[in-house]
Structure 1
Amino acid sequence: MSARVLVGHGTENDFVVLPDPDGTAWPEERLDAALVRRLCDRRAGLGGDGVLRVVRSVHVPDAPAVLGEGIARCEWFMDHRNADGSYAEMCGNGIRLFLHVLLTEGLLDRAACADGVWVGTRGGPRRVGATADGGYWVDMGPARPFGAGAAVLGGTAFPGRAVSMGNPHLVCLTDVDVDALDLTSAPAVDGALFPEGVNVELVTVLDPGAHVRLRVSERGVGETRSCGTGACAAAWTALEAAGAATGTVAVDVPGGRLSVRVEPTTTVLTGPAVVVAAGELTAEWLGS
């Protein structure tokens, strides 16, 4: 079986990418949780916030259940695992990188992606496209608020809005300088509200309804340099706090800048993606 791998990132949210169009190089029985953890290990593996397997939907056993009727329009499936080996529903940075890999691997033509192509995820079908300047956009679907909670960090409680972007988020708007916060440990949250865990966003509003700064602690990973779904949840929450239902918000993350356009029925995330390296895992490492 192939040992070919890529490494890439979207605003420094980085991933090990496994090209597997026909589902034979990295079948699910090979890509178990232990191997995902080894691949993402930053000292003993390649290092990454997660693993993305680039595979056709017909080769993913749970694709029919998570995509429903949408499977007919989703030739490709983003098989996304968190760094701890668990399955992830959706990742806005990851899906941009996913499309970038489809293009650089010659599996899709860039011109054909201007209006977007459908990609399957465990959060449902998502439409992602290529911009003229070399970037990528993703129709992330609507933000869905589902309550309120708090993140406790260093003994301080940060009230927040619970928002689903296909995966759960707790967005905490704060006047505290988010750069000064210690996110080496995950914030404590209400397990009853978030039974499957949650991504916690600490957000400083720089310009109400237009510009925010964000740091994030992702479930199963820890702090990451960027989170696309988190940027969307943060933009929606910032607009809500400003009394607006729609608008475009610039979201600064440690890894760069993202743009989120909130519309009445959806959110659209725009940002870069890049492949850093390509190679093969050695037999020595695979067999160790």
Structure 2
Amino acid sequence: MKGAAMRVEFRKMHGTGNDFVVIDGFGQGGVSDGSAALSLSAKQVIAVCDRHFGVGADGVIIVEPGQTPGADGFMNYINADGSLAQMCGNGTRVAAKWLVERGIVDPGAGELILDTRSGPKAIKFTPAAPGKDFVATVDMGEPILDPERVPVTGKANTIAPDSTPAAGAGFLSNLNIATPWGDILVTCVSMGNPHAIWFLDDWRDVPAELFGGAPASERNLANMEIDRIGKFLESNPAFPEKANIEFIVPSESGKELEMRVFERGVGETLACGTGACAAAVAAALTGRGGLDTTLHLRGGDLRVEWRADNHVYMTGPATESFQGVIEIPDRSMG
């Protein structure tokens, strides 16, 4: 016999358009039975994230007590397809806002530690003032360049230039991947999860069929059909754990990047924090950008700094859209 459905309080929140259903995992009344722990099956997460029959989101964040000494909370993040994710950059800012606004972290503290599956993240924040966004800077840690750790098949074939904090480290650039639309070249970086960055330096090199046959003069990132090639690349055998795919147009100044992203387990999202960091790092490694970069995503802008300590720092907003209660079918559904 199936059990009764759970009535769960949630907040719908987003970071530059990357949206989440955020649930209380501290046991403060967010779940109707008052339990301190909340575990959702993959099918339950899929149901919640469904944009027609559920709340709709790119993923679910259950904010739970910290797992390491000194941590203020743990971001239990699950992709919209029910798969677990090691890290979500935009999600860290959203979880930080939740912790501050629920009173678990003192708004005057200005900083907190958030546990994630890829380790603790130090976050500095500015609480939202009237008419202003909650803004946070997340220490995303060191970029992972070693192909085996990204992970991606193939060996490092390029050395990080002296102008970067990772000077002398090997990384995999211009990995050739054969696709139904021709060969493409990607640079591979991990920010706790794997990323393959495709730099669109010349629209003449991109197959016309990915733009509905438009001539090179009319091709741009906005009208590129990234879903088809994103699905193909995400699951390519080159990526043992799949990969997030970034489509990047560098600027002449080297200080800005235009970006769209296809996230593994989700599809195209309006923003991806780890993807923005990986793209900025890849741009610096390949001479297309500097160490302080503004990324223009479909959901807004993020600032990424690759500092002398070899850590990548991401700054951006976190916003609440609305609050509500959802009835989640019992776990026997999956």
Which bracket does the TM-score occupy, shorter chain normalised?
A: 0.7 to 0.9
1:17 and 2:17 are equivalent in the alignment: no
How do 1:243-258 and structure 2 match up within 5 A? 247-258=291-302
How do 1:128-207 and structure 2 match up within 5 A? 128-131=123-126, 134-145=134-145, 146=147, 147-148=172-173, 149-150=175-176, 155-175=181-201, 176=203, 177-185=220-228, 186-189=230-233, 191-207=236-252
Residues 74-113 of structure 1: CA deviation (Å, up to 9, x unaligned): 231000000000000111101000001111112112221x
**Does structure 1 retain, via aligned residues, the 8 Å contact 2:101–2:107?**
no
Secondary structure at the aligned position of 1:259 is classed as strand
How do 1:67-106 and structure 2 match up within 5 A? 71-106=68-103
Structure-1 separation of matches of 2:7 and 2:64:
14
Secondary structure at the aligned position of 1:170 is classed as strand
Q: Which residue of 2 aligns with 1:286?
A: 329
* Shift in Å, 1:150: 4.6
Q: Which residue of 2 aligns with 1:125?
A: 120
Moved beyond 4 Å, runs of 4+: 150-154
Is 36-45 or 139-148 further displaced after alignment? 139-148
Structure-2 separation of matches of 1:203 and 1:13:
18
Structure-1 separation of matches of 2:141 and 2:115:
13
Q: Which residue of 1 aligns with 2:168?
A: none
Is 195-204 or 139-148 further displaced after alignment? 139-148
Cα-Cα RMSD: 2.2
Structure-2 separation of matches of 1:232 and 1:9:
18
Secondary structure at the aligned position of 2:26 is classed as coil
Structure-1 separation of matches of 2:58 and 2:178:
23
**Does structure 1 retain, via aligned residues, the 8 Å contact 2:187–2:196?**
yes
Q: Which residue of 1 aligns with 2:158?
A: none
User: Larger radius of gyration, structure 1 or 2?
Assistant: 2
% identical equivalent positions: 34
Secondary structure at the aligned position of 2:69 is classed as helix
Secondary structure at the aligned position of 2:120 is classed as strand
**Does structure 2 retain, via aligned residues, the 8 Å contact 1:173–1:203?**
yes
**Does structure 2 retain, via aligned residues, the 8 Å contact 1:216–1:230?**
yes
**Does structure 2 retain, via aligned residues, the 8 Å contact 1:208–1:242?**
no
* Shift in Å, 1:204: 0.1
Structure-2 separation of matches of 1:150 and 1:277:
44
1:27 and 2:38 are equivalent in the alignment: yes
Q: Which residue of 2 aligns with 1:6?
A: 11
**Does structure 2 retain, via aligned residues, the 8 Å contact 1:168–1:197?**
yes
Structure-1 separation of matches of 2:194 and 2:232:
15
**Does structure 2 retain, via aligned residues, the 8 Å contact 1:2–1:26?**
no
TM-score by length of 2: 0.75
Distance 1:91 1:257, change over 3 A: same
**Does structure 2 retain, via aligned residues, the 8 Å contact 1:13–1:227?**
yes
Distance 1:169 1:37, change over 3 A: same
Residues 7-57 of structure 1: CA deviation (Å, up to 9, x unaligned): 0100000001011214935522xx111110001000010000000001013
**Does structure 2 retain, via aligned residues, the 8 Å contact 1:78–1:98?**
yes
Structure-1 separation of matches of 2:124 and 2:58:
23
Unaligned runs of 5+ in 2: 1-5, 29-34, 148-171, 204-219
Distance 1:234 1:162, change over 3 A: same
Distance 1:208 1:160, change over 3 A: farther
Q: Report the structure, 1 or 2, having the larger strand content.
A: 1
Structure-1 separation of matches of 2:298 and 2:65:
32
**Does structure 1 retain, via aligned residues, the 8 Å contact 2:27–2:37?**
no
Matched letter for residue 285 of structure 2:
E
Distance 1:151 1:139, change over 3 A: farther
Secondary structure at the aligned position of 1:204 is classed as strand
Across the two proteins, how many residue pairs are aligned to each other? 269
Structure-2 separation of matches of 1:207 and 1:243:
9
Q: Which residue of 1 aligns with 2:64?
A: 55
**Does structure 2 retain, via aligned residues, the 8 Å contact 1:152–1:188?**
no
